[in-house]
Structure 1
Amino acid sequence: MISRPIAWLHAKLFSNALSLSRAERWKSSLGALLCVAGCGLLLRAMPLHAHWLLAPVGASVVILFVQFHSPVAQPWPLLGSYLVATVTGLLCAQWVPQPAIAAGLAVAISIWLMARFNCIHPPGGALALLIVLNAPYTPASVVQTLELVALNVTALLIAALVINKWVLGRRYPHSTTPALAPHRTQDLPPIQRMGLVHADLASAVQTLNTFVDVQEDELVEIYNLAVDHAFGRQVGLTCAEVMSRDVISVHFHTDLGMAWQLLRQHNIKSLPVIDRFDRLIGIVTVADFLRQVDATAPTSFTDRLQILLKRTPGLSSNKPEVVGQIMTADVFTAHPETPLSELIRQIAQKSLRHVPVIDARRKVVGIVTQSDLLIALYKSIALRQAADKPSA
């Protein structure tokens, strides 16, 4: 009998509680320490009269360093809410003689104005209440209050910007950067064409008729990651199951002509470049060769390609001679245990056509191409549909 009320109370109190990883707990606490201490010391050092930290700053610090990605933690909600709350609190304290009614009106009007001007920041309500409770005000004290709030919010914002970015290594303020189209066209990147769009999110929020405390692009990212996880759980394939294992590779010092011959002989588009210990150091593709062909020469493309591939006699040359001179050193790689869902997402985002698969010692153990992925997905879908069909 006792367990049911306890379970009900636990579900009501803790079911949607915010949880932070151990690293985020330390980073948030460190950020709060530096911010509050820094702002307090800065205000005390100013050659002005009676400047101190306002109590709502403590609540703002929690939001700025724990929920720094939230819409309520961005610069405009912070500045706008403090401005709205200060003006509203002073006006209500001046015009409404009953303190309790003035306090209620100040908080209520602040909420309405913050929502109207898209600057919702919960500590703004606390600031409006604090200003009303400190009434009455003289003209001199009104100026002092405005000055005090302005100094507090300015110091707070500067501290949040500096500490989050330069000390904690966080992206703050949060801004949505549109993904660049891989082919420089108007089309969205492949990963976004089948996902959520702004209209979908706007419709969902309108249906819920509530405030969603998460950035739109982060919500899309959460959705995409959840879809990837579901796909990986249902398909369950890894790179080891689809990769080509007999990998044709070259070395840094391999002649361009030899590498080109290997590409044509095996009808492939890329060659991993390895060192003398068989560890991956780069990749050379057909595109790397084509970029080296002199487009300004008056001869035909075939002649220009032959000039590039032919080894220059002597000790010096004005063109690349070996693979290491034209290869791409920054190579995206996968491991045999990498889920196929994760690899597909990376290939779509980075517009990759081939991904070397390496082991823990960076030795090439395979390569996954777009063709490998298509065949794997086709077989997986075909087998699933065949299994779902009722037997005759």
Structure 2
Amino acid sequence: MFSSLKNLLAAGLSVPRGQAVRYSLGAALGIAVSGVLARILVEGQISFSPLLAAPIGASAVLVFALPASPLAQPRAVIGGNMLSAFVGVVCGILIPDPLLAAAVAVGVAIFVMSLLGCLHPPGGAIALSTALAASSPTPLGFDYPFVPVGLCSVLLVVAASLYGRATGHAYPRRVTQALSPHRTSDRPPGERFGFTRTDLDQVMAQYGELLDVNHDDLDALFRKVELQAHRRLHAAIPCADIMSRDVISLFAGESAEIALARLRAHDLRTAPVVDVRGRVLGLVRRAELLAGGVRPVGQLVAPETYVVGLHTPIEAILPVLSSGAVHEALVVDEDRVLKGIITQTDLLAVLYRAHVVEAVVSAKAA
């Protein structure tokens, strides 16, 4: 009994103070702006009270405090609230008993929202209050789902979007699907090993409960957990330990023709470009040099150069080099002076060596 009571009294979601202030301020501004604009749009013909339906406050909690939740996305907020209001009006008209009308309205609203992919918890409150209002001296009509519910929902979403941009927290949630760097149907290299999206979907199906989180967010979160666990379980290897130190570099002032000859002499496709003090300016590739003619190398530097420090752990550069976006990392000191270079081949060699060592240690332990 005491264990059950303890579970009931367990602490809920803990929010840092800074975030709590941001959420609270955003919700207050969102409600105020929505109410003022709604009154302006209806030319002051309706008082503040009906325009600010109570469940809109619950919607504000979701869109400002839980902006990444599927329940807080615009489709859920606008669609869920309007559909629930419509269901409440219909149930209030068709069912004479207010209590029965409210109960049916809530159940039907949840079913309809789930069916149409716009489940929104405040929708249940809207359905209930709308159905109960049917027995009042001033019952709500079929305009209620549009004004104030629909209007305030739209204005609240717009306010949340603007506030999110102003504070650096995007709303609505934008899920970007990772694509192959070569625009093929393959998943990115970093997502081909370990768990797959199919594994995640199967586990979610076995869980048997609806979780208030997007599957794509879970996928990204778990992959970061994998990387963090790898860093914790394995000693951090700094880039300085695996980099190539005898680097063939090009000077910014030499001509593309001479630089191309040097690359060919060393069978290289890419080389870093440095200034007279050895500081990295960027990378240059054969293609740029072939088209450069007598132009200085400094004018042909590729802007997408990836630069890391001597003490940067290799786990930090693994996702970048495995993505295919870049093929090498230039290692520099505090003054950005070139000290070495790490290629995808260097990383493969280190990972293979680590795998062999782990296999040997495991065999000895057995």
Normalised TM-score (structure 2): 0.87
Q: Write the letter of the residue equivalent to 1:50.
A: S
Partners of 1:118 and 1:322 in 2: how far apart?
58
Greater shift after overlay, 60-69 or 140-149?
A: 140-149
The question of whether the paired residues in 2 share the 8 Å contact of 1:271 and 1:285 is answered with yes
Partner of 1:314 in structure 2?
Answer: none
Count of residue pairs the alignment pairs up: 360
Q: Write the letter of the residue equivalent to 2:90.
A: L
Give how far 1:266 is off.
4.0
Partners of 2:276 and 2:7 in 1: how far apart?
61
Partners of 1:367 and 1:337 in 2: how far apart?
13
Q: Deviations over 1:67-96 (max 9, x none)?
A: 111111111111221122112211222233
Partner of 2:47 in structure 1?
Answer: 50
1:343 matched to 2:338:
no
Partners of 2:161 and 2:332 in 1: how far apart?
39
Give how far 1:267 is off.
4.0
Partner of 1:90 in structure 2?
Answer: 89
Partner of 1:211 in structure 2?
Answer: 210
Describe the SS at the equivalent of 1:69. coil
Give the aligned CA root-mean-square deviation in angstroms: 2.8
Describe the SS at the equivalent of 2:130. helix
Partners of 1:140 and 1:11 in 2: how far apart?
38
The question of whether the paired residues in 2 share the 8 Å contact of 1:69 and 1:172 is answered with yes
- Sequence identity (%): 32
Partners of 1:362 and 1:325 in 2: how far apart?
19
Q: Deviations over 1:153-174 (max 9, x none)?
A: 2222222233323x23333322
The question of whether the paired residues in 2 share the 8 Å contact of 1:270 and 1:354 is answered with no
Partner of 1:304 in structure 2?
Answer: none
1:105 matched to 2:104:
yes
1:124 matched to 2:98:
no
Describe the SS at the equivalent of 2:364. coil
Which stretches in structure 1 are left out of the alignment for 5+ residues? Answer: 294-307, 312-320
Give how far 1:222 is off.
0.8
Q: Write the letter of the residue equivalent to 1:322.
A: P
Q: Cα–Cα, structure 1 residues 39 and 24, in superposed 2: closer, same or farther, change >3 Å? A: same
Greater shift after overlay, 362-371 or 180-189?
A: 180-189
Give how far 1:135 is off.
3.0
Q: Deviations over 1:238-287 (max 9, x none)?
A: 32221223333333212223323443444444322223443322111234
Q: Cα–Cα, structure 1 residues 21 and 286, in superposed 2: closer, same or farther, change >3 Å? A: farther
Give how far 1:354 is off.
0.8
Describe the SS at the equivalent of 1:72. helix
The question of whether the paired residues in 2 share the 8 Å contact of 1:96 and 1:102 is answered with yes
Give how far 1:386 is off.
1.0
Partner of 1:379 in structure 2?
Answer: 353
Partner of 2:306 in structure 1?
Answer: 332
Describe the SS at the equivalent of 2:284. strand
One of 25, 29, 41 as aligned partner of 1:30: 25
Describe the SS at the equivalent of 2:176. coil
Partner of 1:222 in structure 2?
Answer: 221
Q: Deviations over 1:147-192 (max 9, x none)?
A: 2212212222222233323x23333322433333222333222122
Give how far 1:143 is off.
4.3
Which stretches in structure 2 are left out of the alignment for 5+ residues? Answer: none
Give how far 1:377 is off.
0.8
